Amino acid sequence: MHAALVQFELHIPHSRSLKEKRAVVKPIVEGIRTRFSLSVAEVGYQDKWQRAVVGFAVVSDSYSHAAEVVDTVERWVWGRPDVEVSGFRVEWPDAS
């Protein structure tokens, strides 16, 4: 079994309120959940207007498949025009 824990730190430059921020972050979280069938949540900076941390997990029987999913989601998030990715981190916990 191979697992990856992934975090994106996002900057939402045009947000002027938590409501505007949620309007940008929610489609990203829901998109990762539905498009890629992954467990995902906003996990940081819930009280900041222009920052968010989104985390998701990938579990697969092969490292290569898990890495491919991480890469695909990473490209998808980087391609979002309404956010800037200010940080990206992947952890591969030891399965042994």
CATH number for 39: 3.30.70.1120
Tens of pLDDT along the chain (96 residues)?
A: 899 999 999 999 999 999 999 999 999 999 999 999 999 999 999 999 999 999 999 999 999 999 999 999 999 999 999 999 999 999 999 755
Domain count, the chain: 1
Residue at 18 is within a domain? yes
For residues 1 and 85, give the distance between their C-alpha atoms in angstroms, rounded to a whole number.
29
Domain range for residue 58?
2-91
Residue at 74 is within a domain? yes
Residue at 96 is within a domain? no
Which segments of 1-96 are extended strands (E)? 2-11, 39-44, 51-60, 84-91
Q: Is 47 exposed, middle or buried (0-12, 13-18, 19+ CB in 10 A)?
A: exposed
pTM (global) more than 0.95: no
Residue at 43 is within a domain? yes
Residue at 31 is within a domain? yes
